[in-house]
Amino acid sequence: MSRVFCLFFVLLGLAVGAQALAQQDYPSRPIRLITPAAQGGTTDLLARVFGARLAEVFKQQVVVDNRASASGVIAGELTANAPPDGYTLLLAYHQHTINAALNPNLPYHPVTSFTPITQLTSAALMLVVNPATPVRNLEEFLSWTRNYAGPLNYGSAGNGSGGHLAGELYKLMTGVKAEHIPYKGSGPAMMDLVAGQYHYNFAGIQGAQTLVRSGKLRALAVTAPRRLAALPDLPAVAEMLPGFEVVGWYGVIGPANLPGPIVTRLHEELVKVLNQPEVRERIVADGSEPIGSTPGEFRQFMLADLAKWAKVVKQSGAKLD
């Protein structure tokens, strides 16, 4: 064997050894947790809860980097283009796959351009109506919307939001004719529903519950595949409309090709945080359910979510603003 080949294999061995050592020592510097939301919202708060607890375990700072623009596309692109070394992570949420269903020209693929680590939470939406609406339960709502004679409208937090696509899925599965009214956020949408400006909304549970408890809105169902432990008296839409399921989710992903040992370490520590009683209680109080899936399970979940919403978007013609 020539000296050149010998030198090549020596250098290769040193490189592999250095990489293995770097993975073994992970993390040895601060971690950047990119968050596709502004400070103060649910997404930001969740990032800071997990970031603070990971920092305690890793003995390294976890810096929450808020990138609220473009419905999370900028945050996704930054993560996809980062080095696959475990020092740049993304707190992704359901808009991550919805964006790809609505925009085929994204600068990345929502699954293959990333390394899934774990799904943290799952959160249903709540079907709500104004109390003046002549329906008191899910069965009456199905009959009422199917037979409504005049113009029927549903509102959402905006084009491309979970509530928008839930409304389109409901139309596709029931044949109901209803017009979508997009708002600039869930707050204005809720206030107009309280004022009776439109007929129904598939809203985030946390925001809707306050208005339901005060009697300003009436809750009819949740969009999870089954009833929620926190709301056992509220049926799932799927009980009368089999297959209807709309869940929001949060999870942690990194750039594609993250080394296996780093993925394993991150997954283990994230699940440990998720299983802390105070963290689980906080998640459940917000109307969500803790998940803690494996990287493989999370990958399959995101692929299925993308395929589902791509089909709904194609059939309904839903578009972004």
Residue in the block written with tokens 């199905």: 142
Q: Which one-letter amino acid corresponds to residue 185?
A: G
Contact predicate 33/65, CB 8 Å: yes
**pTM score over 0.85:** no
Tokens of residue 132, six digits? 């003046």
Q: Is 105 exposed, middle or buried (0-12, 13-18, 19+ CB in 10 A)?
A: exposed
- Cα(111)–Cα(90) distance, rounded to whole angstroms? 12
- Going along the chain from its start, the domains and CATH numbers come out as 20-122+248-316 (3.40.190.150), 124-239 (3.40.190.10)
| Alpha-carbon distance values, 291 to 60, 99, 230, 283, 297 (Å) | 25, 22, 15, 10, 11
Contact predicate 28/60, CB 8 Å: yes
- Cα(206)–Cα(282) distance, rounded to whole angstroms? 12
Query: pLDDT tens string for the chain (321 positions)?
Result: 556 555 555 555 544 444 444 457 899 999 999 999 888 878 888 999 999 999 999 999 999 999 987 788 999 999 999 999 999 999 999 999 999 998 889 999 999 999 999 999 999 999 999 999 999 999 999 999 999 988 999 999 888 888 999 999 999 999 999 999 999 888 899 999 999 999 999 998 888 988 999 999 999 999 999 998 888 999 999 999 999 999 999 999 999 999 999 999 999 999 999 999 999 998 888 778 999 999 999 999 999 999 999 999 998 888 766
Q: Is the peptide bond before 259 cis (omega within 30 degrees of 0)?
A: no
